[in-house]
Structure 1
Amino acid sequence: MSDSTKTQSVPMTKRQQKDKTKVKGYRLLMSDVHTWFGLLLGWLLFTIFLMGTVSYFNNELTAWMQPEITAVSKPSALPLSSQNSPNKAQTSEPFGVAIAHLQATQANAKNWFITKGPTSTSNEQRLHITTSADDERLRYQFDTQTQTAYMPRDTAGGNFFYRMHFDLHYMSVIWARIIVGIASMMMLIAIIAGVIVHKKIFTDFFTFRWGKGQRSWLDAHNAFSVLPLPFHIMITFTGIITLIALYMPWGGKVANIDTEQLFEGIYSYRAADATVLQPAPMVDISPLLTTAQTDWQKLNPNYAITSVSINHPNTDHSKIIVDGRADRQISTIGAFRIYDGQTGNILEQSKPPPLAVTTHTVMIGLHAGRFADYWLRWMYFLLGGAGCGMIATGLVLWTVKRRRQLLDMDKPYLGFWLVEKLNIATLAGLPLAMVGLLWLNRLLPLEMTARAKWEIDGFFIIWAGSFILTLVLSSRHAWRVLLSLVTLSLLFTPLLNSLTTERGFLQSVLSGDALFVSFDVMFFILALLFAYITYAVSFKKMSPKQKTKSKRRVASQIEIS
């Protein structure tokens, strides 16, 4: 009788028979829920979390991607109707200076929209002008101190990461938000199931075992999950709530709520859609701005004007829309007033919104963190990074746990192979594409047509190239190559910046340019982090003893079955 026949004839013990017929308890069921809900859309969740984490500094990213903003010293040639500068004595109020400039250069435009600069410390006003001839937007910067108008480079800016966070790209916005919502709901379920699964969740948080393979990955997963757990729950739940009307629209339909009328009562946006226009002088706008801000500050001293929009300026249908908001306000709703452009009379003004709307906008504010000061935004950023680590370690843990069960580690089954390749393309390829977008921002010609679009297209080309590379190379080599590329690109980004702009590290230190110094330091820190990860992937291999032990374990499982 052969050895294989003997092995098959060995009867199972009572304990083995009991384990085989044992019904799964709720904890094991929750373990399956946690595993599969976290895995099936884990790559999308990692993308959402990483993009959202970076978006806490999206305005600073936009400022870094437009280095000309503070470096410009003289007006650039702009395609305006006139290059005449307004009289500096007309007004000292920043929005008033910007409006005087528009009167001199774009008096016949369809709309003027003026909002503050890309960062909270900027002294500039950003002007968005819609021309009445072809409805094309002309965007440029205007420095109210020097009364200089100039055109920075066309760039996707940090707003790309922000929009990618919930709108994805190359697809319908509605469908993208539905997909993101489903992924967020699955993540919330996975988080709750993870809490149920871990009996010693807080004890395990203080335990970390280096170099122990699967145990080390599990410890890292616990560390990234437990301490920031309130943040993970808050950010996931509020993310779902931000688009709750899209996922559950039936309440408004049953109540016969006029959505357009409701939005007009809450938000200030009014389209510049008049067709029959007659020239007419406009009222002096500066006193209206002063009055609005004074009235708002009586209710809240922290209120300030955030934007001014003028529809059909210098016509009989001109409307002046003024928006204000309190500093460090959690709710995303501010106050607004709409004036008649000819008489200066108040046509509409905001009223206290319904309690449900206030609650909803507070949820949005908590999720976006726009109310936060720098230190709190850094806290959001670090906790968001922990969320990325939680998802990444969970995805890797799935493959580490099942690799030990493979009959042949060099020939994994299709499901394992696909998960591992997607892990590499997402966890290493996505950061490479993000840094690649920053490189494209510096390397693409400034006069290039559709330059911002090419930055975004280049981002996805790099990401797709990363996935192709993972298919060509073995998994270990793919990890090593992609992580090395991320490390090197981060390390040399400050050098690239110094070669392509006038705001290199030394120049920024000497001029006290905190923004660019901070970016260079952050690039260096992230390069060190990815260098360590690359080292761990490249040199920490399974020893022959561990391989033999794993094979024996698999063989014993086959014999038992």
Structure 2
Amino acid sequence: MQDSGKPKKSALRIMRSLEAHSLIAIIFGGLIYILAVTGTLSVFNHELQRWEQPYAPEMQNISPEAAERAAYNVFQSEEVPTTHLYISFPRPDLPRTVITTDTQAFFADQNGAIVAEEAFPWTQFLLDLHYYLHLPQTLGLTVVGALGIMLIALSISGVLAHPRIFRDAFTFRRGAGRLTTVDLHNRLSVWTLPFHFSNALTGSILGVASVLAFVIATAGFDGDTEAVFSPIFGSEPAANEAPSDIAKIAKPIEHIEETFPDVDPTFFIMHDPGTLGQNSQIVGEHGDRLIFGDYYTYNAAGEYQGNIGISDGTIGQQIIGSVYNVHFGNWGGLPVKLAYMLFGVGLCVIVASGLKIYFTKRREKGNPVPRLEGAWSAIIWGTPTALALTLFVALLDVVPNWGLVAVFWLSLVAMMIYGSRIGQSAAKQCLITVSCVLLLGIITTYVVRHQEAVMSFAGLPITISLATLIVVLLLLKRTGGQTPVKTDPEFAPAE
């Protein structure tokens, strides 16, 4: 006679299958959450770059002659010929001049002298995490684009699954356990839907563009992906590697400033410098437009050859040229960045609360999965902890740049394993405490390392933000206990 207290093999198989299904949901939900957190931080990547190197010379503008002098100095220092030479001009949120080649990057002062090497390892780590999830570039873009498509699907299905979504747009039941979480999830989803939909859409476009271009190029352009993008972004002239004097730089900059006074130059790009095939482009920003800018082309003598047309070409060109700025909030200055930060935090809460509702419903139905719930809590609170750990390690300068990738992913996996053992509430309390300790260590290390630069415009805003984050986390830590669950007919288990 079979023991009635022992579950049947079929029931165990179903239970394990459901747990495997939930684990997959946690993995994909966790990746979307990581993208939400890193995307929110990436809006301030220029401010973070300044914070990492607060001593770099800053200026509102640089003269064409000084920019040319700095670029020539860096070009002449190249041991191996570079295929590109870039000048990044001062901008309001990044008031620095940077000269970059294929292998190195240097700050220039206002006189065109080379001052120091540019290096912002943690900000670059953050951007690579958001762009590629630290996967190989094409694969990473594909995965991130697919997650963006998944987020679009979740947004649409969420709206369709709630017929009262607009009627209940201002309903919020405080102190109602899971129902409070449900209301928070639904209300934030409704109020921020336009932002999250457009952000997921533009992220998907940026993510899958390279893959689609490869497919299209293979099908109709003999594998030439440049031919696919050329109708939008233009194409480079045929290369001629015969040596030549380096092209003019000051003359094109002077031309765009005099001829297009409403255009703000952000980048100077020289293709194949020091060869007969060299040519230059200036990326000019249009302050009243969503486009990232337009390309203004010059020959080696500095003579204007025309623009690509992103600012005044086809509608398709102008739409594609706006995708990047719409996604990252690179328009409208600080007020827009702060709005993107609030919307980004909202998305983090939406993603975090979605699976929390799922786990709570399972508990109510007598089918809890405490290990998975603890692992999910570790992802939610462990992602900021892992980011703080990598920032602390980057400030200590004790590992190479690739080591930050290992520190992030290994620590996050370890926190998930630990969270699955101690439970979701204990995981939250523990990880918030660790985050606060790390943030305090970051601030202390930064003050010791940079001293008076902490009080500069480059150092102070982020330092104050980190201190504020400690206060916010401590307030959140006080709400770490389990809230009693209240039921409602709308969510009661079916009989």
Common fold by TM > 0.5: yes
Q: Give the aligned residue type for 2:39.
A: G
Query: What is the SS of the residue equivalent to 1:41?
Result: helix
Query: 1:364 aligned to 324, 334, 337, which one?
Result: 324
- 1:101 maps to 73
In structure 2, C-alpha distance between the alignment counterparts of 1:284 and 1:186, rounded to whole Å = 48
- 1:475 maps to 424
Q: Quick check: 173-182 or 420-429, which moved more?
A: 173-182
Query: 2:197 aligned to 225, 233, 236, which one?
Result: 233
- The number of residues matched between the two structures is 464
- 2:354 maps to 394
- 1:24 maps to none
Q: Is it true that 1:518 corresponds to 2:461 in the alignment?
A: yes
CA contact (8 A) 1:95 1:114 kept: no
Q: Give the direction of change, closer, same or farther, for the CA distance of 1:160–1:303 in structure 2 (3 Å limit).
A: same
- C-alpha displacement at 1:317, in angstroms? 4.4
- 1:158 maps to 123
CA contact (8 A) 2:281 2:295 kept: no
Query: 2:52 aligned to 60, 65, 84, which one?
Result: 65
CA contact (8 A) 1:490 1:527 kept: yes
- 1:441 maps to 394
- C-alpha displacement at 1:455, in angstroms? 2.6
What are the equivalent positions in structure 2 for 1:462-501 lying under 5 Å apart? 462-501=411-450
In structure 2, C-alpha distance between the alignment counterparts of 1:458 and 1:272, rounded to whole Å = 44
CA contact (8 A) 2:107 2:116 kept: yes
- 2:160 maps to 196
In structure 1, C-alpha distance between the alignment counterparts of 2:72 and 2:210, rounded to whole Å = 41
- 2:477 maps to 534
In structure 2, C-alpha distance between the alignment counterparts of 1:492 and 1:214, rounded to whole Å = 36
Q: Give the aligned residue type for 2:233.
A: Y
- 2:7 maps to none
- 1:182 maps to 146
Q: Give the direction of change, closer, same or farther, for the CA distance of 1:496–1:256 in structure 2 (3 Å limit).
A: closer
| Alignment TM-score, normalising by the size of structure 2 | 0.81
- C-alpha displacement at 1:534, in angstroms? 1.8
Q: Give the direction of change, closer, same or farther, for the CA distance of 1:346–1:542 in structure 2 (3 Å limit).
A: closer
Q: What are the superposed Cα offsets for residues 164-199 of structure 1, whole Å, 9 maximum, x if unpaired?
A: 223111x33333333323322222222122223334
CA contact (8 A) 2:85 2:273 kept: no
In structure 1, C-alpha distance between the alignment counterparts of 2:83 and 2:216, rounded to whole Å = 36
- C-alpha displacement at 1:432, in angstroms? 0.5
Q: Give the aligned residue type for 1:487.
A: C
Query: 2:34 aligned to 13, 30, 47, which one?
Result: 47
- C-alpha displacement at 1:148, in angstroms? 4.1
Q: Give the direction of change, closer, same or farther, for the CA distance of 1:256–1:145 in structure 2 (3 Å limit).
A: closer
- C-alpha displacement at 1:399, in angstroms? 1.2
Q: Give the aligned residue type for 1:128.
A: T
CA contact (8 A) 1:156 1:456 kept: no
Query: 1:114 aligned to 80, 86, 110, which one?
Result: 86
In structure 1, C-alpha distance between the alignment counterparts of 2:96 and 2:327, rounded to whole Å = 27
- 1:350 maps to 308
Query: What is the SS of the residue equivalent to 1:533?
Result: helix
- C-alpha displacement at 1:372, in angstroms? 2.8
- C-alpha displacement at 1:251, in angstroms? 6.7
- Overall identity of the aligned pairs, in %: 20
Q: Give the direction of change, closer, same or farther, for the CA distance of 1:311–1:177 in structure 2 (3 Å limit).
A: closer
Query: What is the SS of the residue equivalent to 1:305?
Result: strand
In structure 2, C-alpha distance between the alignment counterparts of 1:504 and 1:311, rounded to whole Å = 36
Larger radius of gyration between Structure 1 and Structure 2? 1
Q: Is it true that 1:325 corresponds to 2:289 in the alignment?
A: no
Q: What are the superposed Cα offsets for residues 481-521 of structure 1, whole Å, 9 maximum, x if unpaired?
A: 1121123323443233212212465xx1xxxx234222122
In structure 2, C-alpha distance between the alignment counterparts of 1:481 and 1:245, rounded to whole Å = 41
- 1:12 maps to none
In structure 2, C-alpha distance between the alignment counterparts of 1:212 and 1:526, rounded to whole Å = 27
Identify unmatched segments of 5+ residues in structure 1.
5-34, 72-89, 131-136, 551-555
Identify unmatched segments of 5+ residues in structure 2.
5-21
What are the equivalent positions in structure 2 for 1:261-340 lying under 5 Å apart? 261-264=227-230, 266-267=232-233, 270=236, 275=241, 277-278=242-243, 280-282=244-246, 284-295=248-259, 297=260, 301-327=261-287, 329-340=289-300
Q: Give the direction of change, closer, same or farther, for the CA distance of 1:284–1:118 in structure 2 (3 Å limit).
A: closer
Q: Give the direction of change, closer, same or farther, for the CA distance of 1:184–1:197 in structure 2 (3 Å limit).
A: same
Query: What is the SS of the residue equivalent to 2:101?
Result: strand
- C-alpha displacement at 1:271, in angstroms? 9.6
